[in-house]
Structure formats: structure tokens, C-alpha cells
Structure 1
Amino acid sequence: MRIHHALLLVMLFLLAGSYSVSGTTKLARLRAPKYQKLNSVNNNQQLVRAGTKTHGTIDRADEERRALTDLRNKLVNKASVWFTNRNIAAAEKAKFKAFIAAEKLKNRKLRKLAKAQVSSDDLDAAAQNLLKEGVTPDHLHIWFGLDKKTNQWMSKNPSSPLYYVPTPQYQLWEKLKEATMRVS
């Protein structure tokens, strides 16, 4: 086993020694060539190649002025678009608020109409009137608070003569529900 290690060590030294000689020659070839100035003029500001100047070159000051005017134009355009969008949004918001106010007013009128129809003797005709005005059973259910049992029944006391007698609001809701089913 020691012989194998010794042979491996000898081969390693031979290979390393042979590449070290050729490595120095390769390193010399890999170095970059020295920079040589070809046709350049030094005017203490920048190196310019001779003979490559074109007619109508861009003046740096003019280029900077144009950049400032371009920037100003872009800012003006963006600001005008922003103000336009803001004005459109404000107009839409005002239109939406007006729509909401109109809907609230319409709901108030319909709620007053529904409360007036509760006291009528003919609930079928009252349901038809509400249906013509566009009132749905869901509207009545919300306006009269019929989700509570106390608003559905006149009394829940077993000794009362009004035990489990529906309220007029509940009766109107039932009639409107029936009328809606007949129409659809």
C-alpha cells in the first residue's frame, strides 16, 4: 500500500514540475499588449480621434437645454393628465353622490307609501299599488323589521286573544309576496 502512495507522490511532482515551466511561458503570452495611441490628439480635456469629426456635431450645452425642455414638457403633460383624471374622478363622485341622494329620497317616499298602505282595508289592492311602484317583499321585510318575531305577531302571550295573530305589516308583506309570485 505504501508503494502505491509513493508512486502517486512521484507522479504528482513530475506533473507539477512540467506544468510550472510551461505555465510561465503561457502567462507571458496572456498579458495584454501595451496600449498605443493611434491618431489621437490630446487637448487637455478628452482624447479625440483625428479625422472622425462630423459636420453638425451636437453641442453639449444645446443638448442639456433640450433635455430640460423635454423634461418640462413631460412634467406639464403628466400634470395635465393628472388634473384631468382628478376632475373626472370628482365629477364621477359628485354624480354618484347625487344618485345616492336620489335613491334615499325615493326610498323615503316608498317607505311612507308602504306605511300608509298598511292601514288600508284592502291589502290585495295595497300590494298591487306597492308592486306598481317597484317595492319588493324584501324592501318591506327590511323597512318593517319583520326579521324579529315581535314585529310579525300581535302577541305571543297564550292567554291573549291576539295570540299568534299576524301584524298588519306582516299581512301586507305576505300579500305582496303572493302578488310578486303571480306576476313572475
Structure 2
Amino acid sequence: MTDAIHSTVIDAPTALLLRPRLRFLLIVLASAALLLTILLTANYLLERQQLEQSAFDSARSQASAAKQQIDAEFAGVRDTANNIADDLSNGTLAHISADIEARLEAETTANPQINGLGTNFEPFAFSPAERLYQAYRYLDADGAFVTLVHVPYEYTLPEPPPEDTESRHTAWYHEPIDNGARWDEPFLAE
């Protein structure tokens, strides 16, 4: 009798294989799960790509707006410098130290984005009695404006070689004369 019982007992994996409906249902469910996984993954990748593109577009837009703002600030600073140069050249601003210092003060007060502004004259251009003249107004480390007048060194000398660390560097003077107007690195006086 035990032989008859053993012949009718079927293990679970074999039972699943023997039931076609159950096997079909499992295949359909597995296929649906696979399809759902593929669709969700594709949707995730598409949304991620759209989010990245949106972030990139936003960054590009912000950079463009910042560029326009910086360009406008630089244009204003350039115009200020050009106006001072024009006024010195045409005599509207006299070659009088007090007048020049007052103009530098007025411009730096009116334009808070300017943290340093100066004038430099070629030899004897300021006055036949004075070889060199320079006035430079700048923000010091404490945030207060300081004005330097009559620089105590010969800024018209050629630029020293790079290995010469003792001489004053004068490229700030020569470069614009040789190559036209330019922006300089900020100068922090000691």
C-alpha cells in the first residue's frame, strides 16, 4: 500500500510544471513585471534627462544674466575711466593735484563697484616742473579709501626681468601705452 501512495505523491516543482494554467499565469505575471520594470526605468531615465536639461538651461540662463550684469558694470567703470582721461586731456579737469584727488574721490563715492581708481602721467605731462605725478585712490584692507599721491619710485622704467624680485614692476604703466587700454589685476598697496 505504501507503493500506491508514493506513486501519487508529486513534489511541488513538478506540480507547477504539470499545471499549464498556473505556468501560463506565472509567465504572464513575470512578463508584466518585466515590462513594468522596463517602462518605469525608461520613465525614470527620461525624467532624469529632462531634469538635467532643465538644470543646464537654468544654469545657462543665470550665467548669461550674470554676464550681462558684469558687462554693464565693466562698461560703467570703463566709461568712468575714459571720462577722467578725456577731462584731463581736454582741460576740463585741471592738472591740479587737489582737483584730481577730488575727482577720484567723487567717482569712487558715486560708484561703489570701483575699489581703486588712479591717474598716471607721462614724464612732465602733469607739470613742466614735476617729472612724474600719480594719484591713486583705493580701498584698504579695513574698507576705508586711501589716496596715494606722488609715487616714490620711477614707474616709467622698463619692466624688470621676472627673476628680479627687488625692483618695482611697471607693466601696469607700460602695457597700456604699448598695447592699449586693459584691465589690471587688483593692486593692494602695502
TM-score scaled by length of structure 1: 0.49
More helix by share: 1
More strand by share: 2
Q: Which has the larger radius of gyration?
A: 1
